[in-house]
């Protein structure tokens, strides 16, 4: 087999022993490099760098670096048996959007060199910097062992999560898989792992399709793998691209086709679903590595991992970053600390789903008495078994206002306190999936002066709700109900209340005969009675 050398995208600073990221997806051991030597002859600049002592056997080397020069060529030689061997050309793959590159050499010989020397030539008007390098041993790859293990995808239940649109291999012009894919789940899917490519960024669909082709080029022709190592890749706007082929390419992605064994986390690939973000998210490695996930990319990532969790029965708690499996900074310091939040959002998405159960609209108004009327109407029903209207104040969304079966339009009256309140319409499917279909806000103001509101409903045949507001002075509240002769019929609350808030109390009139009654409020403050008021109430039978 003809030896090759490969190059792919990375960062912008010399690091003698960097924690490389994309490189760690393809190497088995990192090489420590001495500082480079640069010579210039006319329009050509030559960069040479020698490694420190090597100790492991290997069949190839890979490195990553960057340069803006359009002319880039490289070679490597090995110090074996106390002499330097011949130069071997490097196979170089460059990023389509930035200055990063990856380079690699591979051959059939198992080497035990004590050192390597790498040489690059570029236009002397530009600079070249090497980020890091490593060796790999193709005998350690896990790709060539056939497996007849289970290919189940966990499709025994209804699914609530729809994955983002997948750009299949045919769309980005994938080269064929070399050999026969084997099953990833042996016997189960175990982990979902997040990577970043530490370069090879992509913001548009055109850039994404091109970068995936370049990464496959490096993985196949530089590293010598059967195919691209990741199962999926994602650009910076959240578009999802297929990496490895499915075991059966005729199966729709939405149904969760069986996945092929990947090559993205050395020593931990079995049962491990790998997704790589195209970009560089690790600021310690230079000014070209400052990418941060957009909101659309976060939403897409959560949906993709939620989809994977549901379809392939992997617990969200088994989401990992590449650095959890080896010595690497991948998926970058801008991503790795966010994984607990991603897990929490995935867990929430498994409850709410992202396939809509329906559509609805809400309306709201508040009267001068601080009474809020909320109404709602359903415009579509895709499987609503129950609805719930909740009032939320800040992080408190536990207040249940009303509920009912099916998608039924309705209205409810509420008596919140002063301030901003959010009302939310939630629905639940027969299988227990919950979704919020609509929400609306309302500001409830304070009353002008002490105030005793009209009870509601009025007339009533059962419970009467009474509201009052204290403007400026707190005190002991007494509320009583009398008939038209002045006879005391019911005694309500008697307690201390602070000023500046709406309050609610209730009278049970179910034992009273039909007629006209009056309820009276009395507020005793430090200076005596500070407020008294009376309102009529009609009871009907």
Q: What is residue 436's three-state secondary structure?
A: strand
Q: Which residues of 323-353 are buried (b: 16+ CB within 10 A; e: fewer)?
A: bbbbebbbbbebbbebeeebbebbeebbebb
pTM: 0.66
**Among 230-244, 289-303, 444-458, 484-498, which stretch is predicted with the lowest mean pLDDT?**
444-458
Evaluate if residue 533 carries a pLDDT over 70. Answer: yes
Residue 159: predicted pLDDT: 73
Helix (H) or strand (E) holding 310: helix 295-312
**φ, ψ for residue 251, nearest 5 deg:** -85, 135
Query: In total, how many domains does the chain have?
Result: 4
Q: Which residue in 290, 71, 252 sits closest to 168, CA to CA?
A: 252
**In a shared domain, residues 317 and 272:** yes
**φ, ψ for residue 535, nearest 5 deg:** -135, 150
Q: Which residue in 140, 117, 123 sits closest to 63, CA to CA?
A: 117
Evaluate if residue 13 carries a pLDDT over 60. Answer: no
Instruction: Please tell me whether the peptide bond between 473 and the residue prior to it is cis, using omega within 30 degrees of 0.
Output: no
Q: What is residue 195's three-state secondary structure?
A: strand
- What average pLDDT does the segment 297-323 reach? 95
Q: What is the CATH number of the domain that holds 83?
A: 2.60.90
Q: CB within 8 A of 517, min separation 6: which ones?
A: 481, 482, 483, 484, 489, 509, 536, 537, 538, 539
Examine residue 496 and state whether it is found in any structural domain, yes or no. Answer: yes
Residue 6: predicted pLDDT: 36
Q: CB within 8 A of 434, min separation 6: which ones?
A: 351, 352, 426, 427, 428
Average pLDDT of the chain, as a whole number: 86
**In a shared domain, residues 18 and 135:** yes
Query: Could you list the residue range(s) of the whole structural domain that residue 199 is in?
Result: 166-351
**Among 62-76, 109-123, 378-392, 443-457, which stretch is predicted with the lowest mean pLDDT?**
443-457
**In a shared domain, residues 312 and 225:** yes
Residue 355: predicted pLDDT: 79
Residue 15: predicted pLDDT: 35
Of the candidates 351, 382, 412, which is a domain's last residue? Answer: 351
Q: How far apart are CA 225 and CA 266, in angstroms?
A: 13
**In a shared domain, residues 299 and 375:** no
**In a shared domain, residues 415 and 470:** no
Residue 306: predicted pLDDT: 95
Categorize the per-residue pLDDT at 25 as very low, low, confident or very high, splitting at 50, 70 and 90.
confident
Categorize the per-residue pLDDT at 87 as very low, low, confident or very high, splitting at 50, 70 and 90.
very high
Q: How far apart are CA 519 and CA 477, in angstroms?
A: 13
Q: How far apart are CA 426 and CA 404, in angstroms?
A: 11
Residue 396: predicted pLDDT: 60
Tens-digit pLDDT profile for residues 29-57: 889 999 999 999 999 999 999 999 998 89
Evaluate if residue 20 carries a pLDDT over 90. Answer: no
Q: Which residue in 461, 450, 459 sits closest to 499, CA to CA?
A: 450
What DSSP string describes 103-147? EEEEEEEEE--SEEEEEEEEETTS-EEEEEEEEE-GGG-STT---
Categorize the per-residue pLDDT at 22 as very low, low, confident or very high, splitting at 50, 70 and 90.
low
CA distances from 145 to 95, 192, 325 (A): 32, 22, 22
Evaluate if residue 16 carries a pLDDT over 90. Answer: no
Residue 395: predicted pLDDT: 58
**In a shared domain, residues 283 and 298:** yes
**In a shared domain, residues 376 and 436:** yes
Of the candidates 313, 333, 351, which is a domain's last residue? Answer: 351
Categorize the per-residue pLDDT at 449 as very low, low, confident or very high, splitting at 50, 70 and 90.
low
Evaluate if residue 77 carries a pLDDT over 80. Answer: yes
Residue 3: predicted pLDDT: 41
Q: What is the CATH number of the domain that holds 494?
A: 2.60.40.2550
Examine residue 156 and state whether it is found in any structural domain, yes or no. Answer: no
- What average pLDDT does the segment 312-327 reach? 94
Specify which residues 374 forms β-bridges with. 364, 412
Tens-digit pLDDT profile for residues 463-500: 888 888 777 678 898 999 999 999 999 998 888 888 87
Categorize the per-residue pLDDT at 398 as very low, low, confident or very high, splitting at 50, 70 and 90.
low
Helix (H) or strand (E) holding 192: strand 191-196
**In a shared domain, residues 382 and 456:** no
**In a shared domain, residues 346 and 205:** yes
Evaluate if residue 417 carries a pLDDT over 90. Answer: no
Examine residue 159 and state whether it is found in any structural domain, yes or no. Answer: no
Tens-digit pLDDT profile for residues 171-227: 999 999 999 999 999 889 999 999 999 889 999 999 999 999 999 999 999 999 999
**In a shared domain, residues 118 and 254:** no
Helix (H) or strand (E) holding 232: strand 232-234
Of the candidates 299, 319, 351, which is a domain's last residue? Answer: 351
Q: What is the CATH number of the domain that holds 386?
A: 2.60.40.10
**In a shared domain, residues 172 and 313:** yes
Evaluate if residue 168 carries a pLDDT over 50. Answer: yes
* 8 A C-beta contact, residue 334 and residue 281: yes
């Amino acid at each position: 087999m003809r030896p090759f050398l490969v190059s792919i995208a990375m960062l912008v600073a010399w690091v003698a022993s960097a924690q490389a990221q994309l490189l760690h997806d393809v190497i088995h051991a990192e090489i420590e490099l001495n500082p480079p030597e640069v010579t210039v002859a006319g329009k050509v600049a030559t960069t040479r760098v020698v490694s420190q002592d090597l100790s492991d056997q290997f069949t190839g080397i890979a490195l990553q670096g960057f340069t803006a020069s359009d002319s880039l060529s490289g070679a490597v030689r090995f110090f074996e048996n106390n002499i330097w061997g011949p130069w071997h050309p490097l196979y170089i793959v460059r990023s389509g959007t930035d200055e990063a590159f990856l380079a690699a050499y591979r051959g059939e010989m198992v080497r035990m060199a004590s050192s390597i020397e790498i040489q690059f030539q570029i236009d002397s008007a530009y600079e070249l910097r090497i980020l890091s390098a490593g060796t790999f041993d193709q005998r350690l790859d896990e790709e060539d062992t056939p497996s007849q293990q289970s290919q189940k995808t966990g499709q025994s239940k209804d699914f609530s999560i729809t994955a983002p649109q997948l750009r299949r291999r045919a769309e980005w012009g994938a080269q064929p898989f070399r050999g026969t894919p084997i099953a990833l789940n042996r016997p189960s899917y175990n982990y979902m792992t997040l990577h970043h490519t530490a370069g090879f960024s992509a913001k548009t669909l055109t850039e994404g399709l091109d970068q995936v082709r370049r990464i496959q080029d490096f993985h196949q022709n530089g590293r010598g793998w059967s195919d691209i190592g990741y199962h999926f890749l994602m650009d910076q706007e959240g578009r999802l691209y297929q990496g490895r082929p499915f075991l059966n390419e005729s199966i729709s992605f939405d149904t969760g086709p069986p996945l092929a064994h990947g090559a993205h986390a050395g020593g931990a690939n079995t049962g491990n679903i790998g997704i790589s973000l195209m970009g560089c998210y690790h600021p310690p490695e230079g000014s070209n590595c400052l990418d941060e996930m957009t909101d659309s990319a976060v939403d897409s990532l959560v949906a993709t991992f939620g989809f994977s969790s549901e379809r392939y029965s992997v617990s969200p708690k088994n989401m990992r970053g590449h650095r959890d499996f080896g010595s690497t900074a991948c998926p970058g310091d801008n991503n790795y600390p966010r994984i607990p939040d991603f897990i929490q959002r995935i867990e929430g998405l498994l409850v709410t789903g992202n396939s809509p159960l329906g559509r609805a609209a809400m309306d709201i108004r508040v009267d001068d008495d601080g009474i809020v009327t909320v109404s709602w109407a359903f415009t579509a029903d895709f499987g609503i078994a129950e609805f719930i209207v909740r009032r939320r104040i800040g992080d408190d969304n536990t207040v249940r206002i009303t509920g009912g079966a099916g998608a039924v339009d309705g209205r409810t009256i509420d008596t919140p306190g002063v301030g901003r309140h959010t009302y939310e319409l939630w629905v639940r499917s027969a299988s227990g999936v919950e979704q919020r279909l609509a929400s609306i806000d309302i500001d409830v103001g304070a009353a002008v002066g002490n105030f005793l509101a009209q009870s509601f409903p009025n007339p009533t045949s059962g419970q009467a709700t009474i509201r009052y507001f204290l403007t400026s002075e707190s005190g002991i509240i007494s509320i009583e109900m009398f008939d038209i002769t002045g006879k005391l019929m019911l005694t309500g609350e008697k307690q201390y209340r602070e000023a500046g808030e709406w309050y609610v109390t209730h009278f049970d009139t179910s034992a009273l005969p039909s007629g006209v009654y009056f309820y009276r409020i009395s507020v005793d403050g430090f200076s005596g009675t500070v407020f008294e008021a009376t309102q009529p109430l009609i009871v009907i039978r």
